[in-house]
Amino acid sequence: MSYITAATSVIAARQASSLGKYNQAASNRNAEVLEQKKIAQENQLEFDIARFDQQFTQLTGQTKVALAMSGTEFSGSGMRILRRNAEEAEIQKDIMEYNSKVAQAQTMEQANFARISGNIARRRGDIQAIGYYGAAASAFGETEKGKSLLKTFV
């Protein structure tokens, strides 16, 4: 009967170890997906800024045309309007960059946490496996025959 208990314990130890490795691999995969998401966020920022710059250029052109049609010169209030628009555009781009950097940092933190969780899962599996191997060793006893049988299972 103790041989069956020992064999079952060895099988359970192998399964615990395998499960820990699987959970670690799944967590590492999640971390890789999150790292790819960070790259996508960087690319999205570049695209958004380029699109914003294009829209701002159009707005500036429309403003200049409106000023010219109204008879306003490009000095005084006309220049103040253009300068204020340019300042506002820079503020908007800074906000876009800040928000993107915050999102990227959060994504990388999630990736790091996924890796840490994977390492913990792996260690838990190893600890469970050690416990099962200990149970197998106890079931076989301290005899030479028991030790050699345990080696064949492990």
CA distance 109 to 115: 10
pLDDT surpassing 50 at residue 3: yes
Nearest CA-CA partner of 17 in 102, 135, 107, 132: 132
Determine the pLDDT at residue 1.
46
Listed residue (9, 19, 51, 18) closest to 140, CA to CA: 9
pLDDT value of position 141: 63
Here the tokens at position 19 are: 């499960």
